[in-house]
């Protein structure tokens, strides 16, 4: 059971989200958890036949405060030069709460389409969706989200037809730059998404090149029923409860059955299985094989599915095949440079292979894109700063985390020991042992899977110096 949790933790943005394989989890995980040797052996066997390589919303002051360390960070600073846009979940006007998956799904697909464009800075889904109750407050909402532009709208689904209203707001002036209503058969929903995305891109002052538009035309599936199953499955997956996880698995299985050529259906089903393992809803060995099978199928159907590349990067990291892990991490980032899970997992890998400074840049970028999940992002940033020997920065970062676990106290103990603050190091070490009496510094460091012995030895000596 523990090894499955560790596996999922590595393979989750969501939930490194929207949180571990769980966030493949919203979706492949943000926490730095140990990974067991038993699972590594299972993965080594399972991956031999892989043929494809591969609760509160923050305020504006919080968003601004989280980027104050980025003045010297060229990677993160350059993001401010791009037009920033947030897509809110479209309001469900159908009079049926169960239809929320459809309106939210349309907005989510627009986020994915826009985030693939390197010319835009797109606010992460879980951040913008946290503000859906404030959709009418354009100016203030834009400041809170850090977005210059807001895309919002509504959906009224009536039988086999839908009325979709969409608008683009300049949050600095509260000016409505564009608005349009679409009355269409549901069969045209893909065309509507394309139209909305194209309109937004053409209006933004960055003058996005028309050539980039072709990247928004990759539909999840051309089968309407399969697409509805996909949207509903993703909706339940994001709710994360055991019953919703089971419902998501069933719906995504129906999506696969309805359209066996849907790469996203396979990829998201793998996410759901990973979420089940991470949260203890499943503990069977067969689940690992299911995940790998679905990922292989998804990439065979669409080699440009960034989620699959992200997951494969995690698999190869667990196998300590760092070259392949880096290849897939880079590929995922090329395909979707605005997804915080992709950015964070890529940054974590950079730290593990010995490039901690580059890892810090990536984690700061992930935090800038997704300030709504600060604890996850801050955990990774603090780890990167510690590995870079920037102990004061790491201490400041870990202290911003709202709920500290044993691993956070272990990092803090190591930092204070390296700063020659014996009293603070002893206090943090005591907290580690209180929360986890069987804590082992050797196991903790071994499970992080540093590529270079020097990095592992640095971490181990710091923990021992702190008394752990």
Of the pLDDT bands very low, low, confident and very high (cuts 50, 70, 90), residue 223 is: low
Pick from 66-75, 168-177, 219-228: least confident: 66-75
Domain count, the chain: 1
Instruction: Provide the pLDDT for residue 27.
Output: 27
Q: Is 161 a member of any domain?
A: yes
How crowded is the C-beta side of 102, counted as CA atoms within 13 Å?
Answer: 26
Q: Is the CB of residue 329 less than 8 Å from the CB of residue 313?
A: yes
CATH code of residue 152 = 3.40.50.10610
pLDDT, tens digit (0-9, with 9 covering 90-100), for 299-329: 898 888 887 788 778 777 877 889 988 999 9
| pLDDT: which is higher, 461 or 208 | 461
| Dihedral over Cα of 272, 273, 274, 278: its sign | positive
Q: How far apart are CA 132 and CA 253, in angstroms?
A: 29
How crowded is the C-beta side of 26, counted as CA atoms within 13 Å?
Answer: 20
Q: Is 332 a member of any domain?
A: no
Q: Is the CB of residue 380 less than 8 Å from the CB of residue 30?
A: yes
Query: What is the rounded average pLDDT for all residues in the chain?
Result: 75
Q: How far apart are CA 146 and CA 76, in angstroms?
A: 14
Q: How far apart are CA 255 and CA 253, in angstroms?
A: 5
Integer angstrom CA distances of residue 448 from 26, 367, 380, 456 = 21, 21, 12, 8
Q: Is 63 a member of any domain?
A: no
E runs forming strands in 33-143: 84-87, 91-92, 121-122
| pLDDT: which is higher, 382 or 107 | 382
Q: Is the CB of residue 307 less than 8 Å from the CB of residue 267?
A: yes
Share of the chain above pLDDT 90, in %: 29
- For 186, which DSSP code? G
Q: Which of 11, 4, 37 is nearest to 270 (CA)?
A: 11
* DSSP H or E stretch at residue 84: strand 84-87
On the question of pLDDT at 241 being above 80, the answer is: yes
What is the DSSP annotation of 344-373?
A: HHHHHHHHHTT-HHHHHHHHHHHHHH-TTS
At 85, phi and psi to the nearest 5?
A: -140, 140
Helices 306-318 and 2-10, axial angle in degrees (round to 10): 130
Range of the domain at 115: 83-205
Following CA atoms 367, 373, 374, 376 in sequence, which dihedral angle do they give, to the nearest 10 degrees?
-90
Q: How far apart are CA 368 and CA 124, in angstroms?
A: 9
Q: Is 21 a member of any domain?
A: no
Residue 122's DSSP bridge partners are 85
Of the pLDDT bands very low, low, confident and very high (cuts 50, 70, 90), residue 121 is: confident
- Range list of H helices, 240-339: 242-258, 263-278, 286-301, 306-318, 322-335
Instruction: Provide the pLDDT for residue 23.
Output: 30
Q: How far apart are CA 62 and CA 264, in angstroms?
A: 34
| pLDDT: which is higher, 187 or 394 | 394
* ∠ CA 357-358-364, rounded to 5°: 90
pLDDT, tens digit (0-9, with 9 covering 90-100), for 363-376: 998 888 776 667 88
Following CA atoms 350, 352, 354, 355 in sequence, which dihedral angle do they give, to the nearest 10 degrees?
20
Q: Are strands 91-92 and 149-158 parallel, antiparallel or unpaired?
A: parallel
Q: Is 102 a member of any domain?
A: yes
Residue with tokens 């991956």: 47
Share of the chain above pLDDT 70, in %: 71
Mean predicted confidence (pLDDT) in 101-120: 76
On the question of pLDDT at 69 being above 80, the answer is: no
Q: Is 255 a member of any domain?
A: no
pLDDT, tens digit (0-9, with 9 covering 90-100), for 16-41: 333 333 333 322 232 223 233 333 33
Instruction: Provide the pLDDT for residue 416.
Output: 97
Q: Is 168 a member of any domain?
A: yes
At 453, phi and psi to the nearest 5?
A: -60, -35
Q: How far apart are CA 8 and CA 315, in angstroms?
A: 10
Q: Is the CB of residue 408 less than 8 Å from the CB of residue 401?
A: yes
Q: Is the CB of residue 169 less than 8 Å from the CB of residue 138?
A: yes
Q: Which residues contact 219 (CB under 8 A, 6 or more apart)?
A: 190, 227
On the question of pLDDT at 71 being above 50, the answer is: no
Q: Is 170 a member of any domain?
A: yes
Instruction: Provide the pLDDT for residue 135.
Output: 54
């Amino acid at each position: 059971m523990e090894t499955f949790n560790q596996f999922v933790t590595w393979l989750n943005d969501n939930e490194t989200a929207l949180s571990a394989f769980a966030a493949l989890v919203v979706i492949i995980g943000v926490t730095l958890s140990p990974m067991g040797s038993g699972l590594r052996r299972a993965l080594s066997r399972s991956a031999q036949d892989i043929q494809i390589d591969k609760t509160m919303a923050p305020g504006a002051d919080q968003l601004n405060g989280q980027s104050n360390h980025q003045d010297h960070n060229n990677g993160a600073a350059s993001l401010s030069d791009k037009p920033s846009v947030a897509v809110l979940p479209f309001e469900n006007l159908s009079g049926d709460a169960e239809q929320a998956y459809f309106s939210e799904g349309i907005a989510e697909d627009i986020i994915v389409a826009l985030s693939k464009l390197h010319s835009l800075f797109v606010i992460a889904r879980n951040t913008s969706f946290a503000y859906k109750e404030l959709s009418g407050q354009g100016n203030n909402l834009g400041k809170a989200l850090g977005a210059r532009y807001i895309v919002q709208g509504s959906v009224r689904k009536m039988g086999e037809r839908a009325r979709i209203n969409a608008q683009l707001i300049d949050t600095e002036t509260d000016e409505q730059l564009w608005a349009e209503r679409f009355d269409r058969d549901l069969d045209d929903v893909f065309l509507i998404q394309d139209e909305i995305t194209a309109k937004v891109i053409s209006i933004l002052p960055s003058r996005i090149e028309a050539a980039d538009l072709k990247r928004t035309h990759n539909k999840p599936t051309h089968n309407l029923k399969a697409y509805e199953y996909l949207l509903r499955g993703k909706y339940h997956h994001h709710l994360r409860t055991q019953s919703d996880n089971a419902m998501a698995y069933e719906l995504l299985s129906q999506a696969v059955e309805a359209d066996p050529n849907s790469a996203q259906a396979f990829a998201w089903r793998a996410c759901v299985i990973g979420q089940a393992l991470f949260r203890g809803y499943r503990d069977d060995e067969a689940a690992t094989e299911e995940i790998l099978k679905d990922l292989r199928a998804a990439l065979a159907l669409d080699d440009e599915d960034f989620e699959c590349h992200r997951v494969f990067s995690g698999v190869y990291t667990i196998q300590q095949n760092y070259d392949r892990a880096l290849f897939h991490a880079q590929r995922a980032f090329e395909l979707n440079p605005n997804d915080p899970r992709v950015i964070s997992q890529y940054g974590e890998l950079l730290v593990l292979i010995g490039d901690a400074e580059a890892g810090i840049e990536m984690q700061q970028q992930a935090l800038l894109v997704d300030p709504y999940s600060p604890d996850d992002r801050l955990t990774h940033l603090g780890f990167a700063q510690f590995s870079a020997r920037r102990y004061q920065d790491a201490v400041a970062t870990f202290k911003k985390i709202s709920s500290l676990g044993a691993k956070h106290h272990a990092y803090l103990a190591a930092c204070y020991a390296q700063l020659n603050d014996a009293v603070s190091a002893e206090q943090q070490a005591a907290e580690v042992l209180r929360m986890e009496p069987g804590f082992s510094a050797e196991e903790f460091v071994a499970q992080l899977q540093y590529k270079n012995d020097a990095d592992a030895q640095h971490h181990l000596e710091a923990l021992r110096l702190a008394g752990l």
